Structures are given as structure tokens and as C-alpha cells.
Structure 1
Amino acid sequence: MSASAPPSLSPAAHGSTILWPGHCGHGPGVWSFVAHVLRGTRRVAVVADPCVWPLAAAQLEQAAARAGCRIAAVHDGVRPNPGLADVRAAAGAIRAGACDALVAVGGGSAIDTAKVAYATVFGGHGDPVELLAPDNAWMAGLPCPTDPRFLAIPTTAGTGSESSTAALVKDEQGRKLMFRSARSRPSAVALVPELTLGLPRHATAAGGFDAVLHAMGALVNTCEAPVGEALAAAALARALHAYPRVLAAPDDLEARAAMLMASYLAGIAIGMKRVDAVHGLCTPLEDRVDLAHAEVLAAILDPIAEYTMETAQGHYARAARLGGLAGPADGDAEAARRLLEAVRGMRSLGGLPERLPPVALEDADALALADRALQSPSTRLNPRPLDRDATARLYLAIAARSRGLHAPTLP
């Protein structure tokens, strides 16, 4: 099948789909793996975080030389919470360098920017907004063998962008846009824990907490995807063990490597299973508060989890057992409690907020947020179903909690 007519990834056409990401290199010899990935390319573009690129530049240039190619373009100006302007700048660099391969180096911001720039340039689009068209065949397609090489080198252990199909980028009004395509997911990933050693403690904590909620969300939701479930369970177990270690000893390379692997596995899992309402309700709120993604997740976790557990405790209990926090002999109430307490403990250990800074929402605001949240498949997969009014009430509860008040009730 030609690259111009990729097979569809439509659920209507295929039902439940298990689509593996590309190769992943980790451990000793990882830079030889990078060289192997780049072999056969000629001109490589790099999209990178400005703080991290100097740490990786020499090794990546050497790997490119061993592969017989060269770095022809570097865009290392990606900002946190990137916007369409970041994508356009990255796409411009790829085009200007006449590049036939792309490497993303950095955290979720750099990798998300690279994913959307990759789809824009190599999908033959003039501007990234074209990717959002519901009938965009390139975005709906499966990866093709003829697609240009795309390598991700994550330098934070959390977002899972290196292995997931989604990318978040802000529009000119500051609203987050979701770009989702299996075809723009990196075709190879290199996990290099040495590149995470200089990561500040708060960034380490926030990234790790995001990975934990990816794994937990994939485990508790209602999507039937046994491979994704197994990967989410492995990610959660690794993160529960490594997260306290890496915060206590930032130079613990083994713990850093474990968190990178947990993030990678959780990213694959959410590509197969999605997450739950904690993530589903988070994205619309991020337009209204000046907090990082993981901080918003941490702040809204309690009201959403407590609401869900009222009728879906068994989902949390099963996740606790799969993650190694409870055994078959433990009742559902005890197992679910252990999971939530473990995640709350990680939030506290990482210094992440338990509630949002004061935010005021009117009923109309909450309903507008609910409309956006319900567009997310993850919200619809929450183990306790959420309709528009219930979602709006959760938003009002979150806002009231931020001001130390009881949640009002929608009429």
C-alpha cells in the first residue's frame, strides 16, 4: 500500500486495535542503537528543549556520523506548554534543512512539538491546523514503511509522549489542541537515564506523577485491552518502587532508568487504553490556571477519584492488585484505599498541590468545561459514568475546594 493511501485506524473499521510502537533502545550501548536507527538517512533535523540539547548534542552528532548522516537543522527553542508558533518554527527548520529524518530531544513539550511538526511536514501539510480536520487521511492512517525515520530521546520520565499517539499544543487563544495519530508517534525511542540526572527535583516529581496517573488511569478505566492493561500494571509497579528512590537520591541511575521505562510503558498503555476522568477533566482546566499539567492532575485527583470510587471501587481494587499493592485476600475497599493512599503519598512526597489555587466558576463556566471534557474518550471511559451535569458538578466541586468551600449544586 502506498504512503499516500495508508490503511485506516478508524475503530469502526477495525474494532479494538493493538498497534505496537517502534523499537526502544535502553541500557548500555544505547547510542549505538541511535546510530542504527539513523542509518540510511541523510539529513537529520533536531527539535529540542533548549536546556537539554547541549547535554545530548555531542553524542547525537557522533551517532549521526557513525550512521553516515549529519544533523542538518536544529530547532532548540521549544517553550514549556508549546503553542502552534513552536510547531511552525520547528516545521520551518525541518523544511529549511531539507531533512529526511527527525530526532526529538527533551520532555513532553519538545516531543509533542516534534510530533505535530513531523505530521505537518512529512504528511504534506502547509500548516499544523490542517491536521485537525476530521477527514484528514494522513492522521487517521497507520505508519508506513516509507515514512521518514522519527526518533525520540525523552529527558523527563513522565509524559510518555515518546510512546503515545497524542500531542497537546496550544492555539493562539491558549486553548490546548489534541493531535492524535499513530503515524506521528516516534518510530524509535532511546532511553538515556544519564540525560535526566540534571532534572530539577520538582520536574522529576511532576513527570513521575504524570506517569503514575497514566498507569492508574489506564488500569481503572473500562476499555478492554489486555495488552495495554499488562503494560500499565508493569508501569505502575515500577513507578511505585522507583519514584521515592529517585526523589531521595537524584543521582540514582537505576531509579532514573526505572522511571524512564515506567513512563515509556505507560505511554504505550494509554495509546491502547486511554486514561480516565482525572486526565479527561484536566486538559480543559489547564487553560484557566497557571500550573503545569501534573500539578493540575494532582490538584483534581481527590474529588474525581472519590466520586468514582463511590460506585466503582472494584476498578481501583483490581488496579491495586495488578500494581502489587494488594493481594487476592484483601477486600476491594482495602485494596482501593491502598492504591489511593499510595498515589496521595507520592503527591505529597513530590511537593505537588492537593488543590488548585483559588478559582471561581459560575454554573455556565462549569457546563462549558464539561462539554469540552466529554469530548475526551478518557472521560467517557471513566468507570463511573459521567454525563454533562455530573461533570459540571465535579468542576464546581474542584473550584469550591480551591477556595475552601463546599461545592454548590447545579439546579
Structure 2
Amino acid sequence: MKNILIASFDMEVGGVERSLISMLNNFDYANYAVDLMLYRHQGDFLNLVSNKVNLLDEIPQYTTFRKSIGETLKNKQYSIGLSRIFSKINADFLGKIKGLSEPGYYQMQLMWKFALPYLPEVNKQYDVAISYLWPHYFVAEKVKAKKKIAWIHTDFSKVETDIKMDLKMWKKFDYIVAVSEACKTSFLNKYGELENKVIVIENITSPEFIREMANEKVENPLVQDNRFKIVTVARLSHAKGIDNAVKALKILKEKGYDEIAWYVVGYGGDESMIKDLIKESKLENSFILLGKKTNPYPYIKKADLYVQPSRYEGKAVTVGEAQILSKPVMITNYTTANSQVKDGIDGCITELSVEGITTGIERLYKDSGKRKTLINNCKNTDYSNNYELEKLYQIVN
């Protein structure tokens, strides 16, 4: 039996975490013993982790990556706290000079780089160690394994990172797994010399599980709402473009489309900015933030249209889940969009802009025949893909 370590940050509600849960629930435990290292034991998805997985104890130094600098210093992790302060100052300074829209990625790289000397190693030797979420320094530097695998879930062409620093880390891995062909392409546009390491393994989806969860009884305001309901499930962050969604709905209202309501399931750092934008646009009764939900599926099930207004994606887990629930789907034309939706067949791709979102919704709102076609095509498509795990077993063995 092979010993496998899988490492990630925590089990907060998110697409990456949901895909990890699916993978763990479909794993072959007859042939593999799996240890799960979560830097912090928190998040609403924790209780969904398969009981066949051995959850390792928290290591205090690693919990700091999910804590504020203040908390870190309060917990007497002074060296790590100071390295965090230093990385923030550095990233903010560079962000201003280079005009980075999201210096957070660079800050995270620096945070790990400066903290590495103060982080303990894992004593156990593994056959395979998998780092499920970037940055992958823990598995790269602190784990002993015969084989190391790193997962990528995002469109790296849109992420500002220090390429030289990243390459040094990527080279410690035997394989790099991209969640879609488009995700692989965008990664190699940035790190071309790693071509021989990159393979594609798509997120594992379980249609039975999703349909079952969609029938769960939850307090759902969409049930009583007779308007045309758009649903988005996403983090409230720059990448997911929720601000553009608010602007698009404002234009639709100005055009006289009063019967449209937009519900967003999710939480994140941009929440107060988005709330201000909703208020400014006088959309309090039409653009509704439902907050964090462990089970987003009952809300998707009640949607007339599922929209992903993202600026960039690796592969949006929720889009596939909306298709499994036979919803008409519309996504923006982010770099990896074509790997997610067959335009006009099981979803529609619209221009990545406020105008594009507005026009795309307007077309689908007016054209119930088109929506019906999308629904039927989703119903007739098998979205299950447990066979993707075979690719992982092949490289493990």
C-alpha cells in the first residue's frame, strides 16, 4: 500500500475545496493510505472529508497562514509574524511601482519565502506528496517524498507573481497537474520550460452527490421569488467579477428589465465594496448577497440562469455543477472559457466586460427557446468523470 500526503490550507467554502472533497470521496483507499495535512482545521467543509482519510494534527506554525498578522504575533509566533509584516511592506511597495492590480499573490510568495526557516519539516517519508493549492512551498521544502505533485486551479497568465522565485519552487515537483487544457496552456505561456512536467486531470465531479444535495431543505428566498432569477456562486473577489455583475444589472434595470433578480452565494474580501456598489446603484432589492453557504446547490436548482462573470478562472467548479443541475449557463470569455462550455450548446460565452454581461443576459432572458435548448443539452450530457482519477494513479505508480 502506498502512502500519500495531500496538503491544503483549510476547508473553508470554495471551489478548490469542493473539488478536493470530491477527489477524497472517490479515492481508492484499498490501495492507498492517505494523510491529509490542513494548515488549519477550519471551514464548513471539514465534516465532508471522507472518514477513510487520516487528518494530521495541526502544526502551530502552519496555522498562521490562515490568521492575521495580529493573531500570529499574539500567538507568540514572532519570527513568522515579522516575516509577514516584511512581505506585506515589500509587496505593497512593488505593487505601487509596477501598478499591480492584485499584489496579494506576490505577497503570498514572499510570506512563504521569508517564513520558511521558521517552519518545521514533516518527519514521515511518503511515496507521494500532493500539494493541492498554490503556493506549494510546504510540500516543495518541508516534506520528504519519492514523488511530488503540485495542482494548479487558476489561470496563471492573469496572476502577478515573481516568476524566478516560482520556478525554483516548481522545479522541486515531478508533476504539475492542471485542472483543464486551457489552464495548462496559460501556465506554460508563463513557465514554458516546465512543459515536460505538466499534465491535465480535471476536477472530479459526482452528479449523484450534487443532485442529492440540491434537494436538501434549506431556507431559500428564491423559492418565493417569482422574478427571473440569476444565480452566481463565487468568492467575492476581483477574479470573480461580481462588481461587473452589479454594474450589468444596473444597466438592465435602466433598460426596463424590472423582473430580473440576481442572487450571489459566497463571501470574500470585496464584500463591503460590493455592498456599497449595490447601494449606490439602488439595487438592494434586486442584487442579493446570500453569504456563505455550505450547500449552494438548492440555490442553483432554483435559478432561471446561472452566470459566471469572472475575470479569470482555471476551471470554475460551479459552472460544471450548474450544468449537472441542467441550468442554462452563461460565462464571460475568460482565457479558459472554451474548456468549460461548448458555446451555444451547453452554455453561452459572452464578452468579458460589463456590456458583454448585459447583452448576454438580455439575449437569454428574451429567448426562452435558447434556454430550453441549453437545458436539454445539459440533461443529455454525462458530466461524471471518476475516470480522471486513473490518471493520478498512473503517475503515482
Report if TM-score (shorter chain) is over 0.5.
no
TM-score under structure 2 length normalisation:
0.28
TM-score under structure 1 length normalisation:
0.27
Greater strand content: 2
